[in-house]
Amino acid sequence: MSFLGYPRPKGLVGARNHIGVISTVACANDVTLWITQQVKGCAPFLHGQGCTQTQPDLDQVTRTLISLGWNPNLAGVLLVSLGCESVLVDKIAEGIAASGKPVDKVVIQRAGGATSALNQGTQIVKTMMIEASRIKREEFPDSELVLGVKCGASDATSGLVSNPATGAACDLLIDNGGTCIFGETTEFIGAEHVLASRAATPEVARRIMEIVSRMEQRVNAMGADMRGGQPTTGNIAGGLSTIEEKSLGAIAKAGTKPIKAVYEYGERLQGKGLFIVDTPGREPEFLTAVAAAGAQVIIFSTGLGAPQGFPFVPVIKVTGNPNTYNRLPDHLDIFVELGNGNSIAEIGQALYQEALAVASGKQTKAEIIGYGNFPNIFTIGPVI
């Protein structure tokens, strides 16, 4: 099977042809957003990090921003910096330039303030967008597809229908030589032994146990029962009683294939197959990690109806809850119905076809209504 994608340098393939306007620090978010409002086809990346944090977190932010710039759905990148932040805009620009794509920057304090920076940035992005508009979609084999999978606002139908169906789509992609990314380490708690048994090597199994233990220790350090935070109040109302129950349902979305490697948050993955990225399950931080890893398309399984997309990666919303599908036409792309003669494998096949259609240009609900402009970057230490 195949899809129509945009050729990029370094052999990468994009599902979208945006110019990314990426803020390097929370203080540059306003100008970043304004620039994207001037030029059609731009996508903002806003976040709350980039300054007055400890070095491990600053490194994580820098790494994440570079990896986001590499995402093949971007034809070019403009970085918007304040000028005095802790992360270094030139280092980030250099990291993204290695992708072979055009990269430029605007620095608010050097430009003479916000309106001057807006004008400067808008001129740069206009030129980049006109150049990008000349790139045409070409046919690529589905082995070039990089799919992220996620579940959120889960209820009991997630673990029964939409997660296993998403998993069946993942299995198809891996069988066809493609790449699938999952994470949500908090939602491995209680199911880590099942994932570790699927690790491609003993080292990968050790890494799976390590990231789960690390996440659980961070939770326990707060001295409270995490129920209410995980599972969320909504999950509990939907019938999920414990994190173990939520996790065992959640891991079904990544299918049944061997897990080839575990990546740190913000790393760009290399090679093909099924991979884990260590990230919490919360949407703003998770979607960023998967975009940074290199996903062109994300399948998002939901029971209660999660609304968010991502600025430059299409997010396909799928639910097995008929009430949610009927109540939230703004947000849900696909209803997957078990019964009526449908098997999980058949539903997975339909989801896979949808992922290829979206990779080829079909718009998702979140893209159409522009929901998803406020992601974030996961950091661990304090703001200082």
Partner 1 sequence: MNLKQKVIILSPKDNVATALADLKTGDTLELEVDGHKKVIKLGADVPFGHKLSLSRIEPDLPVIKYGEIIGISTAPIEPGDYVHIHNIASARGRGDLEGGAK
Interaction site with partner 1 (CB under 8 A): 155-157, 159-161, 189-191, 194, 216-217, 219-227, 230, 236, 238-239, 241-245, 248-249, 303, 320, 322, 337-340
Question: What is the chain's length?
Answer: 384
Place of tokens 């230490």: 381
* Nearest of 308, 296, 349 to residue 332 by alpha carbon: 308
Sheet bearing 259-263, strands edge to edge: 259-263, 273-277, 179-182, 146-152, 297-302, 315-319, 334-335
How many Å apart are CA 347 and CA 336, to the nearest integer? 7
How many Å apart are CA 67 and CA 289, to the nearest integer? 9
Task: Report DSSP state, residue 27.
Answer: G
Closer residue to partner 1 in complex, CB, 227/257: 227
Report the chain's terminal Cα–Cα distance, integer Å. 51
Tell the smallest beta-carbon distance from residue 197 to partner 1 (Å): 12
> 237 Cβ partners below 8 Å, 6+ apart?
155
Closer residue to partner 1 in complex, CB, 114/350: 350
Angle at 352 between CA 349 and CA 356, to 5 degrees: 140
Q: State residue 149 phi and psi, 5-degree precision.
A: -125, 145
Q: Residue 274 is encoded by which pair of tokens?
A: 């099924």
Task: For residue 284, say if its preceding peptide bond is cis, omega within 30 degrees of 0.
Answer: no
